[in-house]
Amino acid sequence: MPRGQKSKLCARKKRHQVQKGQQGLRSARPTAVEGDVLPSSSAPVLTKRKPGAKPQGSVKGAKSTLPITTSSDEGSRTRSQKGINSGNGKKQSSSPFPLSTVQSQDDPLSRVAVMLVQFMIHRYKMKKPITRAHMLKIVNKKYRKHFIEILERASFNMEVVFGVDLKEVDSTKHSYILVSKMNLPNNGTVSRRRGFPKTGLLMNLLGLIFMKGNCATEENIWEFLNKMKIYAGKRHFIYGEPKKLITQDLVKLKYLEYRQVPNTNPARYEFLWGPRAHAETSKMKILEFWAKINHTVPTTFQYWYEEALKEEEKRIQATIAVEANSGAMACECPRASSSVIPSEVGPNLSLRG
């Protein structure tokens, strides 16, 4: 094959790979339909509650817009799932998000941001830092004057889709790392096999459970996931096989609790926060995550904010009590002077605060 034709063929293949990756990542970006208030993998939406208003144990019935995922190859398909209703049949409406969040697929800055996200994820999986020089190689010279805006868009997508933050570690070299918002194994991919971080999905599930009164039925979970175009038994390009992920992997890791609803025949199941979720995050952090995606503040969602605030106060009080108890124990202990601790006791001696 002549050299010119060979180079054209290589360039065509490269463009095709980039376009395929862009379509995949766009499927995690929101458009809106009218319906119940539930978040998507990339932009949860909540409604503002009036002061003193109480939720009816869930967010069902609230009037707002619901972001769902779309992609060119999935938009015309209909899907079914055993025992689960996968849609509400309502018409699409215009997106409620600012242009900085949801861009037209033809927007060149969005396309470059998607390429930057792909590069960041690759470096994240390789556990390698990201430098400004690396990123500028991804950005075409034509758009480098918009680099800050492109980086902000890419960082936002990394946070809301994958649950990782871009943090600068060296201001002189402009070196960055990606840090997962939670400590899922293998940099958030859960399994040792190749894949994408699952932290963003987990944080959305924890948010849904919180909004549903700290306990969400399996029907709640799958209604939520179906509107994100995530289906049980159907492999998702980011989250893998979702039923195994949420009913086995995240349960085994103790991020979720999956239990049978008492006195149900046939058996029905529900989800709660697991002990590791309580240890690694809080209702306030999850509410902040949702609020950031909506370009607002947690206090906008008054009822849930008050509940999250009470939890934060309890955490602070518990920390103060532990520190006070630790200090009291330290004062009561004899000072280690010339006395000798018996060898059979010394190695096992410890103070717990």
- Give per-residue pLDDT as tens, 3-47: 566 555 655 655 555 455 545 444 444 332 233 344 433 344 333
Domain annotation covers residue 84: no
Residue 322 has pLDDT above 90, yes or no: no
Co-location of 22 and 165 in the same domain = yes
Q: Is residue 65 part of a domain?
A: yes
- Reported as half-sphere exposure (CB side, CA atoms, 13 A), residue 236 has a value of 27
Which of 183, 213, 233 finishes a domain?
183
From residue 270, alpha-carbon distances to 218, 219, 220, 329 in Å are: 5, 8, 9, 42
- The stretch 302-323 carries a mean pLDDT of 90
Q: What angle do CA 180, 186, 188 make, to 5 degrees?
A: 35
Spatial contact of 34 and 95, defined as CB atoms under 8 Å apart: no
- Whether a cis peptide bond, with omega within 30° of 0, leads into 266 is yes
- For residues 143 and 179, state if they share a domain: yes
Picking from 268, 293, 318, the residue at the C-terminal end of a domain is 293
Q: Which range has the worst mean pLDDT, 53-62, 225-234, 238-247, 256-265?
A: 53-62
Amino acid at residue number 189: T
Query: Do 36 and 147 fall into the same domain?
Result: yes
Residue 251: its pLDDT value, please? 97
pLDDT(266) > 50: yes
User: Which residues in the chain belong to E strands, given as ranges?
Assistant: 30-35, 64-69, 92-93, 130-131, 164-170, 175-180, 216-217, 256-260, 269-273
In this predicted model, which residue has the larger pLDDT, 265 or 43? Answer: 265
Q: Residue 289: in which H helix or E strand, if any?
A: helix 283-293
Contact 165, 200 (CB under 8 A): no
- Contact between residue 308 and residue 282 where contact means Cβ atoms under 8 Å apart: yes
- Whether residue 178 sits in one domain with residue 51: yes
Q: Which residues contact 213 (CB under 8 A, 6 or more apart)?
A: 55, 57, 58
Whether 44 and 136 map to the same domain: the answer is: yes
Number of domains the chain contains? 2
Distance between CA atoms of 309 and 138, rounded to whole angstroms?
Answer: 42
335 found inside a domain: no
Average pLDDT over residues 282-304: 90
Instruction: Please check the confidence at residue 270 and state whether its pLDDT lies above 60.
Output: yes
Q: Round to whole Å and give the CA distance between 8 and 25.
A: 26
Q: Domain containing 243: what range?
A: 195-293
User: Model pTM greater than 0.75?
Assistant: no
Q: Using CA atoms, how far apart are residues 190 and 185, in angstroms rounded to an integer? A: 5
Same domain, 104 and 207: no
Mean pLDDT in the chain?
Answer: 73
What CATH number is associated with residue 209?
1.10.10.1210
- How confident is the model over 107-121, as a mean pLDDT? 91
Q: Which of 148, 183, 218 is the last residue of a domain?
A: 183
